[in-house]
Amino acid sequence: MNRYQRLTAAIDVTRTYRLGSEEITALRGVNLTVLPGQFVAIVGRSGSGKTTLLNILAGLDRPTSGDVLFEERSVMAMGERELLEIRRHKLGFVFQSFGLLPLLSALENVELPLRIAGVKARERAVRAREALEIVGLWARARHRPYELSGGEQQRVAIARAIVNNPPLLLADEPTGELDSVNARAIFGLFKEMVQERGISVLAATHDSALLEMADEVKEIRDGVLHDQAAQGLRFRD
Ligand code: ADP
Ligand code: MG
C-alpha cells in the first residue's frame, strides 16, 4: 500500500437522528483523515459525537450525508457484505467496557476472532500468543477476566482487537473505566503499536491528560471537529 494513501477518511460527514418530531444532529460536516501508521486522538465531552463518528468509520452506521473512504474506497457505495469483510479483516475495535466473555480465558477471548474467521487451531495458538505478548500479558493467558485488573482486561481486549493484524484500530473511550496510571499505560501501548508495528490508531477520549501521546489531536464539540494542536491542550471535561 502506498505510504501516503489515506487509510480512512471522513468526507463532510453529517449524521442526524430523528426522535419523534425532533431532529438531533450528532455530526456536522466532519472531515478527518487517518494515514497509515498514525495515532490520532479525538477529545470531546460526553454527547459531543465521538461514538457516532467512530461507529460511522467502523461501518456500523452510515452518514446521513457525506461519505467515508476506507483505503480510498467509498463505504457509502459498499454493500453490507463488503462492509462486513472490512470489519472482520481491516478493523479492530476497543470499547470502554472491555467486552470480554467472562467464561473464557484471556487466551480464548483473544482467539475468538480467529475462530470466527476459520483459522486453524495451530495458527490460532501462535497468533493469539503473539497478540498477548504484544500487550505484555502472555503470563496471564489462562486467567479469566474476573481474575484480571481493569487495565489488564483492556489489554486483553486490545490483543483481541489486533489478533487479525488489522491496519486500523478504533478505540471508543478505551480508558473510561481505568485509573490514570492504567489509562496512560493503554495510550502508551497504542503509541508503541503505531511506532513499532505501523498500524494506525484512532482513539476517542474525554481525558485530555492522554493527548500528548498521539501524533494528532482533534477536538469535537457539538458534532463539529476542530484541529486542536495550535491552541494547546486546554480541554477539560
Ligand atoms: P459521545 O460518544 O461523544 O458521548 P454520541 O456520539 O454518543 O456522543 O452522541 C452524540 C449526540 O447524538 C448526543 O446528543 C446523543 O444524544 C445523540 N445520539 C446518539 N445516538 C443516538 C440515537 N441512536 N438516537 C438519537 N440520538 C442519538
Ligand atoms: Mg461515546
Last residue of a domain, one of 164, 183, 212: 164
Best mutation site among 13, 14, 15, 17 for ligand 1 pocket (most ligand atoms within 8 Å of CB): 17
d(Cα 191, Cα 19) in Å, to the nearest integer?
A: 39
Residue nearest to atom 1 of ligand 1 (CA): 47
What are 165's strand-pairing partners?
Answer: none
Q: What is the pLDDT at residue 47?
A: 95
Is 50 part of a structural domain of the chain? Answer: yes
Beta pairing class for 224-227 and 65-70 = unpaired
Q: pTM of the full predicted structure?
A: 0.92
CA distances from 29 to 16, 109, 223 (A): 11, 37, 8
193 has pLDDT over 90: yes
The DSSP 8-state label assigned to residue 75 in this structure reads S
The answer on 152 and 115 residing in a single domain is yes
Q: What is the pLDDT at residue 88?
A: 87
> Could you say which ligand is closest to the alpha carbon of residue 46?
1
Residue nearest to atom 24 of ligand 1 (CA): 17
233 has pLDDT over 90: no
The answer on 176 and 154 residing in a single domain is no
Per-residue pLDDT band for 230 (boundaries 50, 70, 90) equals: very low
Is 172 part of a structural domain of the chain? Answer: yes
Is the sign of the CA dihedral 145, 148, 154, 156 positive or negative? negative
Range of the domain at 142: 100-164
Taking a C-beta distance cutoff of 8 angstroms, is the pair 14, 66 a contact?
yes
Q: What is the pLDDT at residue 3?
A: 53
Q: Which of 58, 75, 61 is nearest to 11 (CA)?
A: 75
d(Cα 42, Cα 52) in Å, to the nearest integer?
A: 12
d(Cα 85, Cα 98) in Å, to the nearest integer?
A: 23
pLDDT digits (tens, 9 = 90+) for 57-89: 999 999 999 999 999 899 989 999 999 889 888
d(Cα 1, Cα 175) in Å, to the nearest integer?
A: 31
The answer on 193 and 219 residing in a single domain is yes
The answer on 156 and 173 residing in a single domain is no
Domain count, the chain: 2
pLDDT digits (tens, 9 = 90+) for 98-137: 999 999 999 999 999 999 889 999 999 999 999 999 999 9
Taking a C-beta distance cutoff of 8 angstroms, is the pair 106, 156 a contact?
yes
70: domain CATH number is 3.40.50.300
Ligand 1: does its nearest atom lie under 6 Å from the Cβ of 206? no
Side-chain-side CA neighbours of residue 4 (13 Å): 0
The answer on 175 and 84 residing in a single domain is yes
Taking a C-beta distance cutoff of 8 angstroms, is the pair 172, 96 a contact?
yes
Ligand 1: does its nearest atom lie under 6 Å from the Cβ of 174? no
Ligand 1: does its nearest atom lie under 6 Å from the Cβ of 52? yes
Ligand 1: does its nearest atom lie under 6 Å from the Cβ of 48? yes
Is the sign of the CA dihedral 122, 128, 131, 135 positive or negative? negative
The distance in angstroms from the start CA to the end CA of the chain is 38
The answer on 135 and 179 residing in a single domain is no
> Could you say which ligand is closest to the alpha carbon of residue 223?
1
- The number of the ligand 1 atom at minimal distance from the alpha carbon of 172 is 2
Q: What is the pLDDT at residue 211?
A: 92
Q: What is the pLDDT at residue 231?
A: 47
> Could you say which ligand is closest to the alpha carbon of residue 44?
1
Return the biggest CA–CA distance within the chain. 55
Instruction: State the average pLDDT over residues 143-169.
Output: 96
Ligand 1: does its nearest atom lie under 6 Å from the Cβ of 31? no
Share of the chain above pLDDT 90, in %: 84
Is 236 part of a structural domain of the chain? Answer: no
The answer on 7 and 79 residing in a single domain is yes
Ligand 1: does its nearest atom lie under 6 Å from the Cβ of 173? no
